[in-house]
Structure 1
């Protein structure tokens, strides 16, 4: 059996790398083992054999950069000390979110009521949406 990596294999291996799960380490050893099923070989290909294929190399570098970027973004967020702390924080944030949604709903209702009443009093929409006048502060003489 010939051990050649076809263009079809290259595309499938590159796709496997692009869809690599975050919870598993991404390195050449794991890629070689992961490509066994795609290639249908008895032994995994070498890192050098896969690295020669441009599409695989580009997919690997892009995925590594994405993982680094994601890790850097999450680096600024403090980690809870325990699962209980995380659950408490999630619950608190959900409650805050619900309160803010309720407050926003009340404010929207109030704005609609004011606009309706103002229009009933004869004010046009343009007049209602006019910017607030600027107040010039008097200069203090010293």
Structure 2
């Protein structure tokens, strides 16, 4: 009996690829070995067999692109010279993050207070959240155009 990859297997393999751990490089060989456990086969499926399945192919390409973008982001980050420098930077960023969270909380509280008070004054929430009008500056016209 020929071995076939069912739609259920296809979904499980695609999910496995989407959840691929960051520390392990993703390539077709590794995906085939991972798919072997899902399929319950004695040997791993071929790359071509997995590549024929649209959901698996799309998941693989998307994950590869995601890993590539994450790697590019990390390359742009400056590396600390020592562990002490890294600890200082982490502490500074945590402090900055905490202060921004506190500021955001205060702004949310202020927005809620303004909305509440405006509602008491008779304005609806929809009216308050309406977009700002598009105000254009008057065009300057030449003297000839005015005459």
TM-score under structure 2 length normalisation: 0.61
How many Å apart are 1:33 and its aligned residue? 0.6
Unaligned runs of 5+ in 2: 108-147
Structure showing greater Rg: 1
Unaligned runs of 5+ in 1: 109-142
- Find the aligned partners of 2:47 and 2:101 in 1 and give their Cα distance: 53
- Find the aligned partners of 2:95 and 2:83 in 1 and give their Cα distance: 18
- Find the aligned partners of 1:2 and 1:95 in 2 and give their Cα distance: 60
When residues 99 and 12 of structure 1 are mapped into structure 2, their CA distance, relative to the original with a 3 A threshold, is: closer
How many Å apart are 1:27 and its aligned residue? 0.3
Partner residue of 1:63? 63
CA RMSD after TM alignment: 2.6
How many Å apart are 1:39 and its aligned residue? 0.0
1:41-60 matches, cutoff 5 A = 41-60=41-60
1:91-130 matches, cutoff 5 A = 91-97=91-97
How many Å apart are 1:24 and its aligned residue? 0.9
Q: Deviations over 1:99-141 (max 9, x none)?
A: 6778x6xxx9xxxxxxxxxxxxxxxxxxxxxxxxxxxxxxxxx
Partner residue of 1:129? none
Partner residue of 2:84? 84
Partner residue of 1:19? 19
How many Å apart are 1:57 and its aligned residue? 0.8
Partner residue of 1:122? none
* Alignment size in residue pairs: 106
TM-score under structure 1 length normalisation: 0.63
How many Å apart are 1:10 and its aligned residue? 0.7
